[in-house]
Chains A and B, each alone.
Chain A
Amino acid sequence: MSPLPGILKGLITTARTALRPTHTAEYPDVAPELPPRSRGVIALLEENCTSCMLCARECPDWCIYIDSHKETIPATTEGGRDRQRNVLDRFAIDFSLCMYCGICIEVCPFDALHWSPQFEYAEVDLLDLLHEKDRLAGWMASVPPPPALDEKAAEPAEIAAANRPARGAGPAGGAGGSGPRMPRTVRPRAAGSPRPDAGSPPPDAGSPPPDAGEASP
């Protein structure tokens, strides 16, 4: 009776499954729990868009349409120069062509495009899938906050840059430099005057400068 253990195993497996909670997602009644990086639809943050056209150019199937015009901003100071800026007239994505590759989102230098997990925008007619900027902007509300970094991930580049001690800073400059440091704007000294800490040796020359440990990584 060699098949008997297998037969009993089959019965036990099905019975155990029957006693566990089911996996069914009752979708129209219960909203699905989507992971934060779901590629549902592409949302547009219109204020960030500079009409630079990078997304439209990189799009593999040319489904992004951008129209813009230039506006002149009068000079704010006396004798200053007028400036020009781009004003976005039309930003449309044809979701009947879009293949959800996300390249437009990757290339946008100003974070104007975002993935939203929203996916309920099916239409009866294919032609109705061309969505203009007001519809795209409406989806910004459903964009989740960016997911937290992994526990041991490296610092984001901009934070790491802000935390790095200024180059050439001596022990005085880097004293207690563990907190975030504001980026330097203007050198406080007049050119030609001797630097206060570079000319004179540090007060305690025998010990290594306290900054060395921080600066090396």
Chain B
Amino acid sequence: MSLLEATLRAASVLAAFLVLPLLVGQAEHKVMAHMQGRLGPMYAGGFHGWAQLVADGVKFVQKEDITPRAADRWVFRLAPAVALIPYLLAMATIPIHPGVAAVDVPGSLVLVLAATSVGALGTLMAGWASGNKYALLGGLRAAAQLVSYELPIVLALASIAMAGGSLSLMALTQAWSPWWLLWQLPGGLVFLVAACAELQRPPFDMPVADAELVMGAWTEYTGLRFAFFLLAEYAGIVVMSLLFAVLWLGGWHGPFEDTLGWLWTLLKGFGVAVLVIWVRVAWPRLREDQLQRLAWLWLVPIALAQLLLTGAGVVMGW
């Protein structure tokens, strides 16, 4: 790989990283508004408020960057980057077209898992370093939530890896067949629920629960650093949605996949993102104990059962 090609790949991933979360964010504004009988943003940019998030970004840039005196300075300032950058890494490994991914490594599934786990550490760092009791409580809740929900995610992905016989996202998508829609359905549902929780999205947003904890670990953040946390959340939605679309919905598989494969991947991923938004609008926040109950009494057993089913299927050659 020449230097030019590497630069091009990096630039394209960065562009996708900056555009796709904004698309999802705008979709959230509009979909949520209409689900609540509202119109959502209508003015910014002229046509149905398409530039609302750009305007929000400009606003965040103008705000003062405050570090509280009681904060652990370096950790506090580093936390948004720790939350944001792993999703950039994860996004780079996702195959969007037959044979096309920005970074195609043999163990990309493991890489994605590791990266998304690190992203969750950003919230923990922010909560610990803020010197604020709400932030600390939010960070602790985030820690408890991450410990509980990493496991179902890993188990669900392990089932896919077993079914496809590989740890490379590219090879797994290649191996996908429509039969997986039924065969891997329980694991897929577990992954969706656990991904929502991993991203701290409603109904699993206890770490940021603004009615109880102000804004949880993000309480003390202002300006661009706060915007980075928000961007990390939406980048996380993009990564998890694309991952689900690639592994469970077949990614580029569809009509004319040689030319339109990238479109199918993006459309499927966008559909999953809309589902994540829909879930956010429809359901209230869970209580902390309900969260743990759901993880350990439902998701982990279902994921283990899926693993058994997949194992049986692989051995019997389905």
Contact B35 A15 (CB under 8 A): yes
Q: Does A36 contact B (CB under 8 A)?
A: no
Contact A14 B39 (CB under 8 A): no
Kindly supply a per-residue 1/0 record for chain A positions 17-50, scoring 1 wherever the CB is within 8 Å of any chain B CB and 0 otherwise: 1101011101000000000000000000000000
Residue of A14, A15, A17, A22 with most partner-chain B CB within 10 A = A14
A89 to B36, CA, bound (A): 54
- B residues 12-54 with Cβ under 8 Å of A? 31, 33-39, 42
Q: Does A190 contact B (CB under 8 A)?
A: no
Contact A10 B283 (CB under 8 A): yes
Contact A10 B37 (CB under 8 A): no
Please give, as numbers and ranges, the residues of chain B lying within 8 Å of A15 by CB-CB distance. 35, 278
Q: Does A11 contact B (CB under 8 A)?
A: yes
Contact B38 A14 (CB under 8 A): no
Name A24's closest neighbour in chain B (CB-CB).
B39
Interface size on B, residues (CB 8 A): 14
Q: Does A7 contact B (CB under 8 A)?
A: yes
Partner of B34, one of A7, A11, A17, A26: A17
A114 to B183, CA, bound (A): 73
Please give, as numbers and ranges, the residues of chain A lying within 8 Å of B314 by CB-CB distance. none
Contact B278 A22 (CB under 8 A): no
Contact A18 B42 (CB under 8 A): no
Taking the closest CB of chain B, its distance from the CB of A200, in whole angstroms, is 77
Partner of B39, one of A7, A13, A17, A22: A22
Contact A7 B36 (CB under 8 A): no
Contact B31 A18 (CB under 8 A): yes
Contact A14 B35 (CB under 8 A): yes
Please give, as numbers and ranges, the residues of chain B lying within 8 Å of A13 by CB-CB distance. 282
Contact B282 A14 (CB under 8 A): yes
Taking the closest CB of chain A, its distance from the CB of B34, in whole angstroms, is 4
Q: Does B281 contact A (CB under 8 A)?
A: yes
Please give, as numbers and ranges, the residues of chain A lying within 8 Å of B283 by CB-CB distance. 7, 10
Please give, as numbers and ranges, the residues of chain A lying within 8 Å of B36 by CB-CB distance. 14, 17
Contact A26 B35 (CB under 8 A): no
Taking the closest CB of chain B, its distance from the CB of A24, in whole angstroms, is 4
Please give, as numbers and ranges, the residues of chain B lying within 8 Å of A24 by CB-CB distance. 37-39
A7 to B31, CA, bound (A): 19
Please give, as numbers and ranges, the residues of chain B lying within 8 Å of A14 by CB-CB distance. 35-36, 278, 281-282
A17 to B38, CA, bound (A): 10
Name A12's closest neighbour in chain B (CB-CB).
B282
A24 to B34, CA, bound (A): 10
A17 to B42, CA, bound (A): 19
Contact B37 A20 (CB under 8 A): yes
- A residues 52-98 with Cβ under 8 Å of B? none
Please give, as numbers and ranges, the residues of chain B lying within 8 Å of A20 by CB-CB distance. 37
What are 18 A-B contacts with C-beta separation under 8 Å? A7-B282, A7-B283, A11-B278, A11-B279, A11-B282, A13-B282, A14-B278, A14-B281, A14-B282, A17-B35, A17-B36, A22-B33, A22-B34, A22-B38, A22-B39, A23-B38, A26-B39, A26-B42
Q: Report, nearest first, the 5 A-B pairs whose CB atoms are least far apart.
A: A10-B282, A14-B35, A24-B39, A18-B34, A18-B35
Query: Which positions in B face A, CB cutoff 8 Å?
Result: 31, 33-39, 42, 278-279, 281-283
Query: Which positions in A face B, CB cutoff 8 Å?
Result: 7, 10-11, 13-15, 17-18, 20, 22-24, 26
Q: A11-B279, A18-B34 are in contact. List 7 more A-B contacts (CB 8 A).
A: A7-B282, A17-B34, A17-B35, A18-B31, A22-B37, A23-B37, A24-B37
